Structure 1
Amino acid sequence: MFRKIYQRRTLLYHHTRKICKGPENVQTLELPNGLRVVTERIESPLACVNLFARVGSRYENYDTNGISHFIEHMAFRGFTSMDCETVACQVNNLEAKITSKTTREFQVFSAVCPSTFAGDIVGLLAKIVTELELSDQEMDCERNIIQQEMKWLDMNPKKVMFDYLHETAFQGTPLANRVIGPSRNVNKFNRDCACYFMRNHYTPTRLLFVAAGDVSSDTIAAAASRHVGSTECETKADFSPCRFTASQVRFRDDSMPFAHISLAFEAPGYKSLDYLPLLVAKNYFGSWHRSQGGSDRHASDAVRAVATDNLCEQLESFYIAHSDVGLWGVYFVVPNMNIENVIYNIQNMLMHLCCTITKNDVERAVNITKLELARRIDGVVNSAFDIGVQIMLKNERTPLQNIYQDLSRLDPKAIKAVAEACIYDKPLVTAAVGPTEELPDYNRLQAGQYWLRL
């Protein structure tokens, strides 16, 4: 028995290929079937094991939009080798906490457990893509849960507004699809549809295991190779480039107390060289909520203006970066009669960002960005997720020290160049939900995106 196990492990690592170099505590391996395994050695009694899949609404079409999110709901409703109760019992025995998330470009199943059980967790997560039991009874149960989730999302104006923002900015492309999908698709999903999608999308070359904690890369790689075999893909699953459309969408509802509005611009994606400068620009703009104190002592001019004059309830800048494209903009919650005043201050701040940003402004924004990036890898859970996102979106993991060095080299000239390329006199997209009577016409908004300069 010992000889057989030894021979199998020797065969596995004879064909395993190390595909990149990183810090000494991080190892990235590619198994013979194309499955990638990344481990980060951290002194911690707990380990976090993530299974990433390259699926999401961007890989779906009109008829399958929402199927990835549906499969996420079915993940632990039972496998072919064990029923739902047995799965729950095994999770309890492994002392694990399991969560899941589906975005437009990837899906992740995350488990936190004692480090000694990391290998067993890999086997449990692998069953999601190899042994998922899609019974009609369980699918009907999850269908009702998803419908309730849709009602909850429709009652959240911020989420509705950002869904509208993607739909109008990337209209006619897969990136406009909602993650949860439309109700017409959720009501008709069945076992055949889910099995066909999984057979073409949940293949080893599109999967990634990430483990962070006091774990061994040999243990994780052996468990992953044992439970995920080679699977043939019937069709090539990939997404096409997206097209940005300058436009405006508004859902007027005068019964709401506040309007939720966003102004956004087309921006480079996660793997672009301009990602860090745009992240610094976002933090230069800043954010504010009415619950904060010190309204007249904020560094950002726009934040200080809306705070001291009580113009809005909330204001925050955002940078939504997908793999090859993104949206950079400002989101704010405002009473109807203050919309024009808030927009004036926002666009004035955007012009300062493009034209008059100073060295002190850049240093402050860079320090905030460094803190934000450090928090992304704080602890095994955050670190495992950050590694997976980097590899899924740009196929490599950049150490934090290298990112800090790139940030320290940024100066006002670099920020102005990126801001002028993405913001100054560039077409914008607007989404608004609520009492939007005072929201200016699109042409007026576009006219505020430049200064007359001599």
Structure 2
Amino acid sequence: VPKRFQSTATAYKQALINVPPTSLTQLDNGLRVASEDSGAATATVGLWIDAGSRYENDDNNGVAHFLEHMAFKGTSKRSQTDLELEVENMGAHLNAYTSREQTVFYAKCLSKDVPKAIEILSDIIQNSKLGEVEIERERGVILREMQEVETNLQEVVFDHLHSTAYQGTSLGRTILGPTKNIKSLTRQDLLDYVSSHYKSPRIVLSGAGGVNHEELVKLAGQHLGGLSTSYEQEIPSLLSPCRFTGSEIRVRDDSMPLAHVAVAVEGAGWTDSDNIPLMVANTLVGAWDRSQGGGVNNASHLSAAAAESNFAHSFQSFNTCYKDTGLWGIYWVCDPLMCEEMLFNVQSEWMRLCTTVTEAEVARARNLLKTNMLLQLDGTTPVCEDIGRQMLCYNRRIPLHELEARIESVSAKDVRDVAMKYIYDRCPAVAAVGPVENLPDYNRIRSSMYWLRL
């Protein structure tokens, strides 16, 4: 560290070490309670459940998301109106979302209302009424949501990317499920999914902000201590590995104004030691949008090329992780006849990562990655989400100073090594929607994943 920055660097290191610790307790039934008490006036508490669309099959695909919708439609203790009034009167926010590997229910409230919020959350996941009338009404809501998703082309492209990259496996299915399933899922399908997957060892009660850990543990024992660990039906099998297949899917539509393209290779899972260097490599490629300043003076080579020659309207590099696999790649939006030019620049940048990336670039990417990670933890809800997700993925919360040290230890050689391992001469998965006639044939894309040079 240069002399003029030494005092700042010391203060930064101390700030990382002085964040409130994450307390962890496991109840007798296997449910984990994890929290970070920052003494704030507000708090976020939530239930992170190790169950998402990856745990479904072809017949019940969409059931996890359907359950999330049914959660706020009333329980055996309170009707939907009572539930909504209770939350509104507290001035709290109740929300939920479903991903491919996790289902989450959380509440944001004043710290004094945490006991009430936990009681409501535990009631929702244990005693949801799942009434036939509400199920029928919610089918229409989900079908409308599917129509909305169809208009978000980024989501459409990423769903296609998963369906081709993980074809024939559970990660290839969408979270919302196919229309025929939404129309045919029954109350029994919902009950079967809950009894198979909502088990206490697979649930984490996470809290952040003005939360007292001992109080959380007491509340968890009181409201969630009755969650069972035994199975009434057949015990669900362990997750089978999801095979990655280099392949492509193109939905050509020349009436659309812009082409939307995603290209990805198989990345690393959450717990893989290559994950941090891959995140640094991902940050090196970066993200760019036409509306940003900087243009040709951008540090990212790809941003400079895109700005100077108008190759794309926007692009973003991504590193999506799952338990045992991941997708590392790039998504871009461009004019109809710019697909080939943009692809050439993307693959040239990838080859540069594999061969000639410099220490100065990697140092910049490390700093940017650290900044982005700390900015993402700004507020009680992101911290609560970070705790819940890390408990399910790593079975612990990685302290900020450890994460910073792991990022800081990544050198240019490490980036070149992981890029050689995951990118160089690997079969990519490609998904493209819109006027994509100009996108080269898959064999040409594959043949640009390596260099023949003397």
TM-score range, shorter chain: over 0.9
Question: How far is the alpha carbon of 1:117 from its aligned partner?
Answer: 1.1
Letter in 2 for 1:203: K
Q: Distance in 2 between matches of 1:287 and 1:67?
A: 34
1:236 maps to amino acid: I
The match for 1:27 is 23
Q: Which residue matches 1:236?
A: 235
| Superposition deviation, residue 43 in structure 1 | 2.3
* Alpha-carbon distance in 1 for matches of 2:40, 2:235: 40
Once the two structures are superposed, residues 316-347 of structure 1 have per-residue CA deviations (whole angstroms, 9 ceiling, x without a partner) of 11111112110000111011111111111111
Structure 2 residue aligned with 1:149: 145
The superposition leaves residues 279-308 of structure 1 with CA deviations (integer Å, 9 ceiling, x where unpaired) of: 100110011111112211111112111111
d(CA) in 1 for partners of 2:287, 2:150: 25
**Distance (Å, rounded) in 2 between the aligned partners of 1:204 and 1:83:** 25
Quote the Cα distance in structure 2 between the aligned partners of 1:191 and 1:396: 35
1:75 to 54, 62, 71: 71
Deviation at 1:244, TM superposition (A): 0.5
Give the Å deviation of 1:370: 0.1
Structure 1 stretch 207-216 or stretch 222-231: which is displaced more?
222-231
Give the equivalent residue in structure 2 for 1:43. Answer: 39
What is the DSSP-based 3-state SS (H/G/I as helix, E as strand, rest coil) of the residue aligned with 1:378? coil
- 1:311-390 → structure 2 map (5 Å cutoff): 311-390=311-390
Where does structure 2 lack aligned partners over 5 or more consecutive residues?
A: 1-17
| Distance apart, 1:394 and its partner CA | 2.0
Separation (CA, whole Å) in 2 of partners of 1:187 and 1:155: 21
> For 1:390 and 1:254, how far apart are their aligned partners in 2?
43
- State the SS of the aligned residue for 2:240: coil
Which letter does structure 2 place at the counterpart of 1:414? D
The range that moved more, 228-237 or 413-422, is 228-237
In 1, the alpha carbon distance for the partners of 2:156 and 2:20 equals 44
Question: By how many angstroms is 1:95 displaced?
Answer: 2.1
1:163 to 159, 166, 169: 159
- Following superposition of structure 1 onto structure 2, how do residues 24-423 of structure 1 map, counting pairs within 5 Å? 25-228=21-224, 229-231=226-228, 232-233=230-231, 234-237=233-236, 238-423=238-423
Find the aligned partners of 1:413 and 1:422 in 2 and give their Cα distance. 14
Contact residue 25 and residue 42 of structure 1 kept, 8 A: no
1:235 CA displacement: 3.4
SS in 1 for 2:128: coil
Q: TM-score w.r.t. structure 1 length?
A: 0.93
Give yes or no for contact 2:259–2:335 (8 Å, CA) kept in 1: yes
Separation of aligned partners in 2, 1:427 and 1:394: 29
Check whether the contact 2:22–2:397 (CA below 8 A) recurs between aligned residues: no
- For residues 152 and 273 of structure 2, what CA distance do their matches in structure 1 show? 34
SS in 1 for 2:184: coil
Alpha-carbon separation, structure 2, partners of 1:176 and 1:41: 38
Deviates more, 1:22-31 or 1:401-410: 22-31
* Residue deviations 1:58-102 (CA, integer Å, cap 9, x gap): 000001110000000011100011111111121123221111110
Stretch moving more, 324-333 or 373-382: 373-382
Distance, in Å, in 2 between the alignment partners of 1:408 and 1:199 is 44
Aligned residues: 433
In the alignment, is the contact (CA less than 8 A) between 2:35 and 2:387 conserved in 1?
A: no
Task: Give how far 1:23 is off.
Answer: 7.4
1:25, distance to aligned residue in structure 2 (A)? 2.7
Moved more, 168-177 or 186-195: 186-195
Offset, 1:163: 0.2
Residue 187 of structure 1: SS of its match in structure 2? helix
Q: Structure 1 counterpart of 2:189, which letter?
A: C
Cα distance in 2 between the residues matched to 1:164 and 1:66: 16
CA contact (8 A) 1:376 1:386 kept: no
CA contact (8 A) 2:63 2:190 kept: yes
Aligned-residue CA RMSD (Å)? 1.3
Could you list the structure 1 runs, at least 4 aligned residues long, displaced by more than 4 angstroms after superposition: none
Which whole-Å CA distance do the structure 2 matches of 1:379 and 1:246 have between them? 39
Shift of 1:432: 0.3
Question: Which amino acid in 2 is paired with 1:63?
Answer: D
Quote the Cα distance in structure 1 between the aligned partners of 2:214 and 2:133. Answer: 39
Q: Match for residue 445 of structure 1?
A: 445
What is the TM-score when the length of structure 2 is the normalising length? 0.93
Higher mean C-alpha deviation, range 64-73 or range 308-317: 308-317
Contact 2:280 2:362 (C-alpha < 8 Å) held by counterparts = yes
Deviates more, 1:24-33 or 1:62-71: 24-33
Q: Secondary structure at the match of 2:267?
A: strand
Task: State, as a whole percentage, how many aligned pairs show the same letter.
Answer: 38
Tell me if structure 1 keeps the 8 A contact 2:90–2:109: yes
Flag structure 1 segments of 5+ consecutive residues without an equivalent. Answer: 1-21
Paired with 1:375 and 1:440, the residues of 2 have a C-alpha distance of: 38
- The letter of the residue matching 1:369 is L
The equivalent residue for 1:17 is none
Checking the alignment, whether the CA contact within 8 Å between 1:50 and 1:111 is kept in structure 2 is yes
Give the superposition deviation at 1:140. 1.1
Compute the displacement of 1:24 (Å).
5.8
